[in-house]
Amino acid sequence: MTEPLLALSSLTLGLRMGADLVRGLDLHVNRGEVLAVVGESGCGKSMTALAVMGLLPDGVTRKSGSVTLDGIALTSLSARRLRAIRGKRIAMIFQEPMTSLNPVLTVGEQIAEVVRQHEGVSHRAARARALEMMNRVKLPDAARRIDAFPHQLSGGQRQRVMIAAALACGPDLIIADEPTTALDVTIQAEVLRLLDELRRDHGTALMLITHDLGVVEAMADRVAVLYAGVKIEEGRVEQVLDGPRHPYTRMLMAARPDADAGRGKRLVEIAGSVPSPDAMPPGCAFAPRCPQVKPRCHDRPPAWRGTAEGHGCACVLHD
């Protein structure tokens, strides 16, 4: 078996001196594949992505575990060496591009800056690359828009600028954190098609965080389901969507409005809510909401059980 491109091993993230937000997470992305990460709001999807990028918010820290990219332990690199990898080998696309684009720089300057930082090329060459990337992401009238400021573009155009900046140095992996939730449905489809093309044409691997099982089905090779900071199921998309093992995954699937018309709908119709990190139940975190709960579910977290075909689940029903 070849080594995965990205590997998270027993990663635990939490508040300094406080509750854990992501607990003992094992996750990997193979070269050129799309891994979807799904789960309700607050399950730790964004924290996981930020930990890979080395961009955890103030107050949140990695308590244990590691992140490895292509054999390099990112979690033991200096800030300077991590900066050299971020943007060049891994890039991230954020949910709301307005918060991650600088409002006082033109979009062309922002894409060119990524190139200059990593490749030390001239201003002129970096600008030419920015224009090439803007064309590649099919930003209409790129030659004119290169000198636009973010507020002069629509949401979908800004998201394309973010993708152009992410692609500028030809990364091996793009982490896309709900890249389309802020966009309307037709633009969503275009942005997803663009990400899919990149994977096909350039072999870029994608870790795609989404609420949308329609997107998972259309785009992903494998899927990991998180609940309250813990991975509860993982497998190839057809394994998990056709034969979900964990009651939580089954409920997510049932909450899908319609298998064919599910795209764009958010998964919110499950009764109850995700426990807060500082009030985590001692056993399975899903036990309080689980329709198939057993007395022993409350005792200790269930063990992870995987099949030889790579379909795994953490639930006493499969113990």
Ligand X SMILES: Nc1ncnc2c1ncn2[C@@H]1O[C@H](COP(=O)(O)OP(=O)(O)OP(=O)(O)O)[C@@H](O)[C@H]1O
Residues that bind Mg ion (CB under 5 A): 46
Q: Which stretch binds ligand X (CB under 6 A): 45-53, 128-136, 294-302, 310-318?
A: 45-53
**Could you give the string, one character per residue 244-283, with x where binding to ligand X holds by CB under 6 A and - elsewhere?**
---------------------------------x------
**Could you give the string, one character per residue 51-80, with x where binding to ligand X holds by CB under 6 A and - elsewhere?**
------x-xx--------------------
Residues 170-181 as b/e (b if ≥16 CB within 10 A, e otherwise) read ebbbbbbbbbbe
Nearest CA to 61 among 100, 9, 22?
22
281 binds, among Mg ion, ligand X, none (CB under 5 to 8 A by kind): none
In angstroms, what is the minimal distance from the CB of 266 to ligand X?
9
Task: Name which position in 6, 20, 35, 45 contacts ligand X (CB under 6 A).
Answer: 45
Q: Quickly list H helices, the chain.
A: 45-53, 79-85, 97-100, 107-119, 123-136, 142-145, 155-167, 185-202, 213-219, 237-242, 247-254
In angstroms, what is the minimal distance from the CB of 13 to Mg ion?
13
Q: Which is nearer to Mg ion, 46 or 75 (CB)?
A: 46
256 binds, among ligand X, Mg ion, none (CB under 5 to 8 A by kind): none
Q: Which is nearer to ligand X, 39 or 156 (CB)?
A: 39
Find the helix or strand (DSSP H, E) in which 15 lies.
strand 6-15
Nearest CA to 130 among 148, 107, 149?
107
Residues 6+ away with beta carbon under 8 Å from 277? 14, 15, 18, 19, 20, 21, 228, 229
Residues 86-145 that bind ligand X (CB under 6 A): none
User: Rule CB under 6 A: is residue 159 a binding residue for ligand X?
Assistant: no
Q: Which spans of this chain sit near ligand X (rule: CB under 6 A)?
A: 15, 21, 39, 41-47, 57, 59-60, 277
